[in-house]
A and B are shown apart, each in its own frame.
Chain A
């Protein structure tokens, strides 16, 4: 990955994925991602970038506490382990937007040598701390999301038919399960026209989030 030019260097490199090699509107969107990823670093650290020791102990401790809290919400047996299938939820609820592929990579780092189906907090904590400090899986801004929907909207008419959406999301990319698809349709689909007006959908979801 190329060194971001806005920054003097140091551990705040933005780690993109294959999408970064895209073209057209998506490329533009990703440029935004790049900027977003870098901006809060200084705030988080409290000092200027470029200084290797700029992560305040306080900042790191606080991040660790947050990770532990999120972990414990899924720790049913109160023994510092969670089911491996819940890792995705934990990572995402901490503000990260990994793809499934990225998640698998992360899992490889935190799993035991002989996978037991459980992940230990001990292994998870340092890896996840680094993820948060590096902002490894930055959020997807609203306009990037919009561009993505527009890319699927062949006729540029502002909506996508149910069939098309289902086709794209269950056959392309990292396919949705049937349950995921139905879930999304339950809020996104306008049952009268059988289409998804994606601008409205995005606006609604953003409001829900806050």
Chain B
């Protein structure tokens, strides 16, 4: 019995042990899976925050257009100075005639000093020039303005003879590589070339727009792409994106980058770039089967029309209301005329210009030149191609978020594919976590090549390769070494931090509106509201469509019994923002909220791109803007503001410094 019972005891013991092990394993797995799910939720919420803020910013562009419409409707310039001021806002997009352009953006007179150690370009360009440029940019060198301008001139000449829709065939160079948005992120372009090889007679590339803005090396990317375009014109194809546009560049950083890098000749470079962008082709067709456009399509997209229109005509500005139209156009024509005289005097041109170009660059009236389409109809085709986004629901509706183009459904895709006998569409325009994404039953492919777009670790970039079988093969990458070494948690936390900082800034910018909204839930004036009401109130003010209850723990730290003391919470938010204490806090809020629009307006007014505007101009701008936004600001208020930001005390305002003062402290 002795050994029997000890065998039994052993057996029981080992059974216990394995049961314990089993249960322990379940517990650990259970806990870990929950942890991973939480991370996944945090990652998605972070993504939502970035996207909603990005698109809300694009809505600012709409507000800007509304502002201009408002001006047209309400503002009667009372002096030539004021007229001048206003007209400047509308003429920024004018395009020069050929001769004027050559003269204005002349490069031949620019001397390249012997001390210059950067690459020297000569035309026609050779592959060696391209490798020299790549090497130089890796070493953070800058290409001399003369070569930049020369390159831009040659690029423009080349692009002018290209059709609106490029045709590529896979039978000439086995594979075609399609890249999406790069947004000035040169490291990503380097990575693509490293992984996939440089463009060559046996390696075709299509770059699908949005080469510039947001990233800090937009100009370098343009230089490289244009260089390869000129060396391998049959193999390299560029599509225009919505960021290849002057107004957008003023807002999103490209204009600033150029001016900072080329202080003396930056103006000329920007002018030339503007005149290159308008000549970029609108679409690319591979084997007549795959259509590549930057944004998307709409239910009215007409490829035959797109092939025939004159793509370089500038965008018509917002048409004023019917009633004022004639009045307004008369007034504008007057000011335009004056401006043109002034310009002509500057460049000393004789009188034989055709006026059609100058008027059409400002106001859209029904144009009867060319085939029977109106300017508006033509522009809608282009806008749809450059700005649209796919949506899961059927149908086609106006893209109010972006302010241009449409949301198009799977039925719209199907119709276009059928109409033109296509297999699928490739587009970019939207950032995707994995660098690419299919939708509409794999008939629409989004390809996005700017990795870490929102923040380090936020997303991968990708490019797609197509062979004669037109089956897509993807390559993904992430252009930051630190992103690899961080753990998943660290990566998500970092991106999350960044998103929440941006969100807190937005909350701060709406302090007054939030207080009103909170007070509505606090009738007894206790200073506290429930967390539930907090969520509802915040959404009603910000309209970002975010899951506020999920985000709440990161935004609201001090709660007691499920209640929030909202005034002190808002006070904490305010403390986080770097601020000028002697400026009225409500004014501060307004500036924060409209910072992006203000910046764009300043840049438009600052015609010579000097970064400075006079007191008077600032005052004017502010007055107009505040009356449009129904902000009450006394003259004293404005004067205080102006005095506090005249950093150089010379009567001019460096608006870059002004705007810098209202930027969040960014992590180094």
Contact = CB atoms under 8 A, between A and B. Distances in A.
Question: Do A and B assemble together?
Answer: yes
Interface of A: 18-19, 22-24, 26, 58, 61-62, 65-66, 69-70, 72-74, 76-79, 88-93, 96-100, 140, 144-145, 147-149, 151-152, 168-169, 172-176, 180, 183-184, 186-187, 205, 208-209
Which of A74, A168, A175 is most buried by chain B, counting CB atoms within 10 A of its CB?
A: A168
Main SS of the interface on chain A? helix
B35 interface: yes
A208 B23 contact: no
Can you list the 3 inter-chain pairs with the closest CB atoms, starting with the nearest? Answer: A173-B25, A92-B37, A93-B41
A74 B33 contact: no
A69 B531 CA distance: 15
A98 B20 contact: no
B549 A92 contact: no
A19 B29 CA distance: 13
Interface string B13-53: 00010011111111111111111111011001100100000
Interface stretch (B244-252, B310-318, B486-494, B510-518): B486-494
Nearest to B551: A69
21 contacts: A24-B16, A66-B549, A70-B550, A73-B48, A77-B392, A78-B392, A98-B30, A99-B26, A99-B29, A100-B33, A140-B34, A145-B28, A145-B31, A152-B21, A172-B21, A172-B25, A172-B26, A173-B28, A180-B32, A183-B488, A187-B488
Interface of B: 16, 19-38, 40-41, 44-45, 48, 392-393, 487-489, 493, 532, 535, 547-550
A51 B36 CA distance: 37
Given A183-B36, A208-B489, A209-B35, A65 B532 contact: yes
B37 A89 contact: yes
Contacts of A69: 547-550
Contacts, number: 138
Contacts of A148: 23-25, 27-28, 31
Contacts of B45: 73
B31 to A, nearest CB: 5
A186 B94 CA distance: 57
A148 B25 CA distance: 7
A26 B20 contact: yes
A69 B25 CA distance: 32
A23 B23 CA distance: 10
Contacts of A208: 489, 493
Nearest to B31: A140
B492 to A, nearest CB: 10
A93 B36 contact: no
Contacts of A19: 23, 26-27
Contacts of A209: 35, 38
A70 B28 contact: no
Contacts of A77: 392-393
A77 to B, nearest CB: 4
B23 A88 contact: no
A164 B535 CA distance: 47
Contacts of B16: 23-24
Which of A74, A97, A98 is most buried by chain B, counting CB atoms within 10 A of its CB?
A: A97
Nearest to B42: A93
A50 B606 CA distance: 72
Contacts of B44: 73-74
B536 to A, nearest CB: 9
Given A18-B23, A173-B28, 20 more contacts: A19-B23, A26-B23, A69-B550, A70-B550, A77-B392, A79-B392, A79-B393, A89-B40, A91-B37, A140-B27, A148-B23, A148-B27, A148-B28, A168-B25, A172-B25, A173-B26, A175-B29, A186-B488, A187-B488, A209-B35
